[in-house]
Chains A and B, each alone.
Chain A
Amino acid sequence: MEGDLFTVALLSSGLRLATPIILAALGGAFCARAGVLNLALEGKMLLGAFVAIVATFYLGNTFAGIFVAMLLGGLLGYLFAFFYLRYQVNLIILALAINLLIGELTVYVMRVLFGNVGSWSDPSIQRLPDFEIPLLSSIPILGDILSGYNFIVYFSWVACIVGYIVLFHSKFGRHIRAVGENKQAAETLGINVRRVQVSAMVIAGMLCALGGAFLSVGHLSLFTRNMSNGLGWVAVTANIFGFQHPLGVLLTGYFFGLAEAFAVRIQNVTDLPPNLIQLLPQFATLAALILVALREKANLALIRRRFRRQLARGEMQSAAGD
């Protein structure tokens, strides 16, 4: 039994579970780079999950359902931007309002449409098909880890790489970073700050919705009340932990996905109370945040120690005189 813990299956289910986190965190990274704190990832993800399954049910096509979800996610992102930029609503309050609103709204609509409160599914709903990547899947172990997912999983990897190229090698990305770091600098050079921030938030909304869609029609084929279950908040952490960098987010997202997968696995092999084990990803989150804070502190301590050592050696005077 022990040997099963760190198998290929664990790594691959980690990648699967990381997908919604990576997508939402990437959206968060775009917002953060544009100077907007986006704590509404959770709500946007939940909206995506709900809309995707409902649209799939009515349209009879999973891809179309996902497309509609992303559209509405983008719209919610635009709404967020609208309230923030037009009416200067406090970002935290706005995010909390959206998270709570979506949480209740999905339950309400589910009840009106399907008369259900807890969860809903329909046999007609097709889960997004998995597919193998031709050459990659034939490599022994790597093939098992990196292949055999649905398109959202692959998309999340590609999105991070594309996100990196956009942010650091395109004109649009440079404008995003300039707006985030010094809004006035961008503004005085005639960059439309509003448009840049709105774009970033619409992109974030669409990515979050796609992450949510992965939950309802990619991973499973049902919707449950509060389905995102804190994954949006984990994404907020993954974004900070990943230094608001698309590739960093890919790694930290995977880290959290792995923690989730590990928690699921370990339940099968130990006698530890399951409630405690379910806390594992949350502990990982906490540890990650502490790490980020410690890194800053360690950096300062290092500089200070070096400074003190020089002080002791009496080298300051000569260093100052250069």
Chain B
Amino acid sequence: MRRDIVKAVLRRTPCGNLMANAVELRNITKYFPSSNVLANNDVTLSITEGEVHALVGENGAGKTTLMNIFYGLHRPDSGEILVNGQPVEIHHPDDAIKLGIGMVHQHFKLVPSFTIAENIMLGIEPNQYGMLKKKDEAEMVRQLANDFGLPVDPYARIRDLPVGMQQRVEILKALQREAKILILDEPTAVLTPQEVKELLAVVRNLAQRGRTIIFITHKLVEVKDVADRLSVMRDGKMIGTRTVAETSIPDMARMMVGRSVLLELDKKPATPGEVVFAADNITVTDASGLPAVRHISFSVREGEILGIAGVSGNGQTELVEAISGMRPVEGGTILFQGKDITRRTVGERRKQGMAHIPEDRIKIGLNLETNLDENLVVNRYKLPEFNRLGFMILSAMKRFAAFAVKQFSIAAAQPGEMIATLSGGNMQKVVLARELSGEPKFVIANQPTRGLDVGSIEFVHRSLVDVRDRQAAVLLISVELDEILSLSDRVLVMYRGTVAGEVDPTTVTKEEIGLLMGGSSLPGTATSAGSVQAVPKPQKEVVA
């Protein structure tokens, strides 16, 4: 113990008061050989007991890796971890749990067919000779939920619960294991603004009860709302730790990105012309046959961006699949340039000038098994300039790739290069180059900036506005409210497969749009009622 303190003093930890540090991570380095990424580069972080400490940084900055190391899911290549001043070895989540560390992962780690109680008590079931005591279990969960003011129904099954409730189960899971240090990994990414508000209140409440919270996020407003201090990571390095009260949001953004960020996108007013695309009363079912899109009608005019906002899983994916031709519609008609294309195939739609930037560039947007050239021509290889008698003209493909690399500044890419070696931002640029070159008349952009760094996001936004200014019609689907509001000329909000309302992005407030996203109607309804109701997927039908 004494030696540790001496060592710590010699290291001169930034915080100074040693005993109050709940967590110290020292000189953590982690390298992933398979993807050749130095995820954590000599990272040092100390966290005081009882504080809410925000860990911010862009996607890929190394926040999650650092926390996974702390939680025992990864082993660091070098560095040491101290909990309450004691050096510890964390090889496995089990070790972390024993040390009082709990983690709520970005992707919930719940068993869908189990009940809330079964999930919370998994691994620590009350039992007699190995047989479960299910009544005791439910009672313990109810007790815990009441203690912390987070009511749940112990017998409800996870698969029937809205996302906000599932998150609550994750938090309770950690609390049941007597977590003193709680890591929340991007907890607000999947929530509506109202659910976010509720979560932040829960976080503050837990801190008041003496829990130490590490709050991972890249949304700076939330940092301002909830955290005492923040630490910023960029490119795997720790940039610094600040007190939130003394740091402004633009300062935080500068630390995060490494330069001043243009938070506002400047664009000319739209000059909408004729209707290019119209969906009339369309209805679509999801993979399991349940209705995902119900009676939606809207139209997109040339020279405008129509934004579709909403919490992920409210039918956006199915809507896009139906529009692009990947999923049949159950009812309604789709008109493109005045022609009925409801039953046309993807290829036929594309031929008429439809382009689609899919939400998942890894699985749908690109073929990672092949190179840049082939990925770029996959939507136009049938054109005469790219093939002769069914044989591809490699030189033409190469020329096109060189053109695209230059035009869309796909950094560090050569024609013929394997796609898998590119970064996320550059991959997305390849998709943009393929979809946006060749004068499309209608562009569907589904979550076009998901998982990208700020620089790439700016590029994608710029490209979409440019296409609009060339008088193409753009349909933008995104769960990022800021993105929708800054890019769109008109905004529709989707909730449970219907259009909950249309708003004007220049005048609407975030609260108003949040209400629509949560399923409430606009004129003055109470916020608390709608907040936990946002359902990830349309639930089973209530048969009248």
Contact = CB atoms under 8 A, between A and B. Distances in A.
Interface string A162-174: 0001000111101
A321 B521 CA distance: 10
B131 A186 contact: no
A182 B544 contact: no
A311 B330 contact: yes
A185 B111 contact: yes
A322 B530 CA distance: 11
A300 B288 contact: yes
A111 interface: no
Interface stretch (B59-67, B119-127, B350-358): B119-127
B127 to A, nearest CB: 5
Interface string A289-322: 0000000000011011011101100011111111
B211 to A, nearest CB: 19
Interface in B93-149: 93-94, 97, 103, 105, 109-114, 118-119, 122-125, 127, 130-132
A170 B131 contact: yes
A303 B112 CA distance: 21
Nearest to B119: A185
A184 interface: yes
A166 to B, nearest CB: 9
A190 B94 contact: yes
A257 B114 CA distance: 34
Nearest 8 CB-CB pairings of A with B: A190-B94, A185-B109, A189-B123, A300-B289, A320-B498, A303-B289, A304-B289, A316-B294
The size class of the interface chain B forms with chain A is: 35 or more
Contacts, number: 107
A318 B73 CA distance: 47
Nearest to A183: B109
Contacts of B497: 320
A4 interface: no
11 contacts: A174-B122, A174-B125, A175-B122, A175-B123, A181-B111, A185-B109, A303-B289, A310-B541, A310-B543, A315-B544, A321-B498
B106 to A, nearest CB: 12
Interface of B: 71, 73, 92-94, 97, 103, 105, 109-114, 118-119, 122-125, 127, 130-132, 173, 283, 285, 288-291, 294-295, 330-331, 496-498, 538, 541-544
Contacts of A165: 131
Contact of A185 (B110, B285, B496): B110
Interface majority SS (helix, strand, loop, mixed), chain B = loop
A319 B123 contact: no
Contacts of A306: 541, 543
Interface residues of A, number: 36
A188 B109 contact: yes
Given A170-B127, A184-B109, A315-B544, 14 more contacts: A169-B132, A181-B112, A181-B113, A185-B109, A189-B97, A189-B124, A307-B290, A307-B291, A310-B544, A311-B283, A318-B544, A320-B295, A320-B497, A322-B542
Contacts of B496: 320
A190 B291 contact: no
A178 interface: yes
A197 to B, nearest CB: 16
Contact of B122 (A186, A316, A318): A186
